[in-house]
Structure 1
Amino acid sequence: MNFVKRAWLSLVAKKGRTVLLAVITSAIMLFVLAGLLINNAADTAVKNAKANVGATLTLSANREAAFKKSQTSSSSSTKKTVKMSSVKLSDAKKIAKLNNVASYNVAATASVNASSFDAISTTSSSSQMGGGSSTATGDISISGVTDTASSTSFTDGTNKITKGRGITSADKNTNNVAIESELAKQENISVGDTITVKSTSGSKSYKLKVVGIYKTTSSTSTQMGPGTSDPGNTIYSSYTLANTIKGAKYANTADSVTFTVSAPSKISSVKSAGNKVINNSKYTLATNDSSYQTVKSAMSSVKSFSNKIVWLVSIAGTIILALIVILMVRERRHEIGILLSMGERRWKIVGQLFTEMVIILVVGLAVAGIGGKFVGDKLGSQLVSSQASTSAGTISAPGDKNVQMSGNPSGGGGSMSGGSKPSGGMSGSGSTSTSSDTDIDVNLSAIEMVELGGFGLAIMFLSVLIASGGILRLQPKKVLID
């Protein structure tokens, strides 16, 4: 009788032992597979982040250089004023032509006073009627964009168009605007209505046509005046309108310009090339691959932990199964002694034990294949949640510290090329926060099953190899006498 057939008959004859081994093997394979799935899912998440999350460069005024210039040009008796330079779109176009720049977005903001309506007030004081505010910054913030649908504050769910439509590139050089729902409700403004705002300096008024109403969940303070501290006082328009309100000298300029780099790995080379085509004494080019780095950091921790799971479970499983096989050998000394006395070769006896374990392994692989994805999903979610609790939950927008009262230093402005990924909305001197998606998608494929099978065979081989020492030392005559 060959050893393969003996292995099968032995498993059938000892059903209790076979079931116990199958349960233990299934548990080991289940956790090894979960570790492999999480590991591969983490790798995929990092690759997807590298391809899709992207990285940005923000061109804005060099505030540090401007501050130093004000110190040298001002006498000790006069009040120091920092004069910030607007970004010329012609300079932005030079950077946009560089290799690996996918698109770029312009941010332009302005401040006005409400004239035909009341701004939302966050204080107990009476509302500011008819543009009566005398603050230099005004009570309404105009956030100039090219396309609200591409603006981060809309894509991340902070803002959502509820009526009408958002601002698009077709609104360039128009007075079309989108207002916040609370402001619309307070002042009974509907889509299609015309509202009037007034310049904070002089008496010039602007009639704005409401083409959309959006709802915001943001509580970010813009700190541009008593009224504008409420996010409901932010009105979205084309960036050209914001520049018009600020004055003729701001034509073809921006508060900041955000460039989307095709891949995070290219951001350093793009920045280096960009610095060569701009006046570094006036502008600064800041990098922001925080989204990619956050995903990479989170997934590295998850991957490290999943590797530990795989190796710890594999080592523990090998030891446990080796002990079980050793006990099996001791229990079957008489059977092995008879086989040896009949002239059966020792390697065939070891092969019989290995075959038994491989048959049990097949059962374990089947169980792991059925339940591995479920365990991997649950374990992966716990790992990601644990990592998220110890990681920074927000990413500060680039350029926050470089642009004063730009309202939208990180983007969301006019896109000069199609398919851009602009960033957020009005944030004034506050920070724009972006949540990084660090979820992992655990999927079971044939590759994982092949890897699991390899781990399983290695575990079984080592277990039997460790236990086979007892078989190799057995003397059939002594066994039969005992």
Structure 2
Amino acid sequence: MNFFKRAWLYLTAKKGKTAILILVFTAIMVFVLTGLTIRQAANQATENAKKEVGASVTLTTDREKLMKKAMTTASSDGSPVRIKETPVPLSQAEAVSKMSDVKNFSFSTSASAAASTGITPVTGSDDTSSTDTSNQKEIPGRIANVGGETSKSTIAMNPDFRLTGVNDLLSLPTFQDGTAKITSGRAITEKDQGTNNVVVESQLATANNLKVGSTFKLKDEDGEEHDLKVVGIYKTTQVADSMAQRMRTMNPANTIYTYYTLANSFKEGATDTSEQTVDSAIYYLKDPAQMATFVTTASKKLDTDTMTLSTNDQAYQQMLTPLNNVASFATNVVLLVAAAGVIILSLIVILSIRERKFEIGVLMSLGENKAKIIGQFFVELFVIMVVSVGLASVTGNFIGNAVGNQLLSQQNTTQQEQAKSTTETQRGHGRLGNIGGPFVANQETAKQIDHMNVKMTSKTIGLLSALALGIVFIAIFVASIGILRLTPKTILTNN
């Protein structure tokens, strides 16, 4: 009788022991499968997160390097420390924007402007929507505009408006997070290149009776007049603090958006032949995981002596932290349960062999090879493994979803509490405030992933079967050490 048949006869004859082994092995497989499916779901959610939330890389002037250079120059000749601002050349900013890793980009630059015809700024009076309508007397926080003439020095020292040039207004963090939103007309886009179109704040529009289609004039930093046309009106929730009430350009209501090439023309000394520049360029990446590679490649296209690339994947990392914790936990569960399975099954097989010493002695006395006896035990446990893997697969999706989403919920709650505690601590130290400006969000957040779709695949079942087979091999190997030392005479004599 071959050992395959003997194994089947034993399993059918010892129905109670077989059932207990199936239950034990199934429990082990359920825990292992739960860990595998949760880990797979967390990894899949991570891949999906890369598509939903991006990371940004900002190109700006490297003020730290410029400061060091200025200090070196000053110390060598004894002159005062002077930092020469170096805007980002548009040609280099555009070269980076054409890289394949860039999903979208946002260029921005700022200039000062003075009121000319058809518009006056929102002032820092008690009524923040009031404007300066007198050209004869000085209003607190504003230099007198005697005789309607605005000198170049007045514009430089105390301008009326902050002209912010962009290529995509809605990509600014203040519009992304809802701090500002378009209430009438449209936003500035690429099609506004070469136009005199602007978007003004609702307080400024109300105070000056401006509507979509209205026109007015502003003076640039050289005192030259420019005709501008309103194509959109936005509303911001930012409020003017005490400093903004003294300096009109810091009042959010006095920020006017336009295309960046028009904003460049307002800068002092700007001409038609001047090289176009931007104050900063933000690149939104397709895959946040490739951020380091992108920075390395993009740096080769830039003058790194005066410019720097700074990365920001806070939203991506914020979203991934709970998922990574769940995936790590699931991996640990698989390893611990697999190790426990080896130990438990090894002990069960060893105890079973001790009970079956007489059977083993008879087989060996009849000339049966030890390898075939061990093979019989392997076949018995393999059949039990197949049944257990099948039973575990039936419950895998249900248990995996229940456990996985509960773990994710706990991780999200923990992270929210930690973020809240950190925010309160920073506020307690006075580190947070309305200092973000239009280009930087005050607090970058990402919508948390609160659900994982735990679903078994053929790959998961294959991996589970491989782990189960490994557990069986190890358990049989450990138990077989005792069989190899036995002799028929010793076995039969002892029994």
| Residue of structure 1 in register with 2:149 after alignment | none
* Separation in structure 1 between the aligned mates of residue 130 and residue 482 of structure 2, nearest angstrom: 95
| Residue of structure 2 in register with 1:418 after alignment | none
The residue type paired with residue 134 of structure 1 is: R
Match of 1:458 among 464, 467, 470: 470
* Separation in structure 1 between the aligned mates of residue 32 and residue 175 of structure 2, nearest angstrom: 41
Higher helix residue share:
2
Q: Deviations over 1:195-245 (max 9, x none)?
A: 8696697796865524364777xx799997247778677654322343344
Q: Does structure 1 residue 63 correspond to structure 2 residue 87?
A: no
Shift in Å at residue 169 of structure 1?
A: 0.8
| Residue of structure 1 in register with 2:87 after alignment | 86
| Residue of structure 2 in register with 1:352 after alignment | 376
Q: Deviations over 1:323-372 (max 9, x none)?
A: 12223333444555565566655444433332232233223323443425
Larger radius of gyration: 2
SS in 1 for 2:439: coil
- Do the aligned residues in 1 keep the contact of 2:205 with 2:211 (CA within 8 Å)? no
* Separation in structure 2 between the aligned mates of residue 215 and residue 368 of structure 1, nearest angstrom: 56
1:179-198 matches, within 5 Å, as: 192=212, 194=214
Shift in Å at residue 84 of structure 1?
A: 1.9
Shift in Å at residue 100 of structure 1?
A: 7.3
Go from structure 1 to structure 2 and tell me whether the alpha carbon gap of 1:354 and 1:162 turns closer, same or farther (over 3 Å shift): farther
* Separation in structure 2 between the aligned mates of residue 6 and residue 361 of structure 1, nearest angstrom: 17
* Separation in structure 1 between the aligned mates of residue 337 and residue 304 of structure 2, nearest angstrom: 58
Q: Deviations over 1:231-285 (max 9, x none)?
A: 677654322343344456286221123456784353354355234xx383xx222
| Residue of structure 2 in register with 1:330 after alignment | 354
SS in 1 for 2:130: coil
| Residue of structure 2 in register with 1:286 after alignment | 309
| Residue of structure 2 in register with 1:130 after alignment | 131
- Do the aligned residues in 1 keep the contact of 2:106 with 2:172 (CA within 8 Å)? no
Shift in Å at residue 89 of structure 1?
A: 1.8
Go from structure 1 to structure 2 and tell me whether the alpha carbon gap of 1:457 and 1:381 turns closer, same or farther (over 3 Å shift): same
SS in 1 for 2:31: helix
Q: Does structure 1 residue 29 correspond to structure 2 residue 29?
A: yes
The residue type paired with residue 378 of structure 1 is: N
The residue type paired with residue 280 of structure 2 is: S
Match of 1:225 among 244, 247, 254: 244
Go from structure 1 to structure 2 and tell me whether the alpha carbon gap of 1:11 and 1:286 turns closer, same or farther (over 3 Å shift): same
The residue type paired with residue 343 of structure 2 is: I
* Separation in structure 1 between the aligned mates of residue 241 and residue 267 of structure 2, nearest angstrom: 18
Q: Does structure 1 residue 377 correspond to structure 2 residue 404?
A: yes
Calculate the TM-score normalised by the size of structure 2. Answer: 0.65
Shift in Å at residue 301 of structure 1?
A: 6.7
Shift in Å at residue 102 of structure 1?
A: 7.7
| Residue of structure 1 in register with 2:439 after alignment | 426
Which segment is superposed worse, 383-392 or 10-19?
383-392
* Separation in structure 1 between the aligned mates of residue 164 and residue 84 of structure 2, nearest angstrom: 21
- Do the aligned residues in 2 keep the contact of 1:39 with 1:307 (CA within 8 Å)? yes
Shift in Å at residue 127 of structure 1?
A: 1.5
SS in 2 for 1:328: helix
- Do the aligned residues in 1 keep the contact of 2:106 with 2:282 (CA within 8 Å)? yes
Go from structure 1 to structure 2 and tell me whether the alpha carbon gap of 1:84 and 1:222 turns closer, same or farther (over 3 Å shift): farther
SS in 2 for 1:286: strand
Q: Does structure 1 residue 255 correspond to structure 2 residue 282?
A: no
- Do the aligned residues in 2 keep the contact of 1:143 with 1:426 (CA within 8 Å)? no
- Do the aligned residues in 2 keep the contact of 1:294 with 1:436 (CA within 8 Å)? no
- Do the aligned residues in 1 keep the contact of 2:55 with 2:313 (CA within 8 Å)? yes
| Residue of structure 2 in register with 1:319 after alignment | 343
Shift in Å at residue 458 of structure 1?
A: 0.5
| Residue of structure 2 in register with 1:419 after alignment | none
1:76-155 matches, within 5 Å, as: 82-93=83-94, 105-110=106-111, 125-127=126-128, 129-131=130-132, 134=142, 142-151=163-172
1:231-242 matches, within 5 Å, as: 236-242=257-263
Which segment is superposed worse, 143-152 or 202-211?
202-211
Report how many residues are paired: 444
Shift in Å at residue 454 of structure 1?
A: 0.9
- Do the aligned residues in 2 keep the contact of 1:117 with 1:196 (CA within 8 Å)? no
* Separation in structure 1 between the aligned mates of residue 205 and residue 19 of structure 2, nearest angstrom: 69
